[in-house]
Amino acid sequence: MQTLSTAQLHSMASTGDSMLVVDVRSPAEFGEAHVPFAVNHPLPDLDAGALNAEAERSGKRLVFICKSGARGRSACEKAMAAGISAVWNVDGGTGAWIEAGYPVVRGAKSFFVERQTRVVIGGMVLLGTALGAFVHPGFPGISAFFGAGLVYAGLSDSCMLAVLIASMPWNRRKPGCCA
């Protein structure tokens, strides 16, 4: 896996370098703001083989982008596990692209998966605490479970709850929504 800075990506796009830029964020995140020449293929649904075939057929370089670079790195790893060696990840992702002042396509604000995950975890910690105080002393185990999940997510840079929430129907691509 190779990395590209946002400046390199912008330069390559400006000079007409042939590349397939795949944004692996949720459709809601993609719809809110994305690189103008990116297409959306959310990480949970990513078919690396099909994308590679498309990139090879059109002679394009396969580049992944996300919010900050972590999901893009996961997409690169998924592609490499499928036997694709020529993949690039945009360092800093769309956030760095926007911060650099490059153009973006903007849409409606959305309730990101990350934010939904925080609401669920906060709600479960609050519920476990309240049930423990008023119903049974064993209920704070709910809070402990979600706290342990947060520690694991922080250490592994992987959150299974976020993956689950991303797969919910309201976070799925709507017909005709995104490229």
Kindly list the catalytic residues. 66
* Cross-strand partners of 105: 34
Three-state SS string over 42-107 comes to CHHHCCHHHHHHHHHHHCCEEEEECCCCHHHHHHHHHHHHCCCCCEEEECCHHHHHHHCCCCCEEC
Q: CA torsion angle for 4, 10, 11, 14 (degrees, to 10)?
A: 140
Residues in the chain: 179
Which residue type sits at 54? E
CA angle 94, 99, 100 (to 5 degrees): 100
Q: What is the largest CA-CA distance in the chain?
A: 65
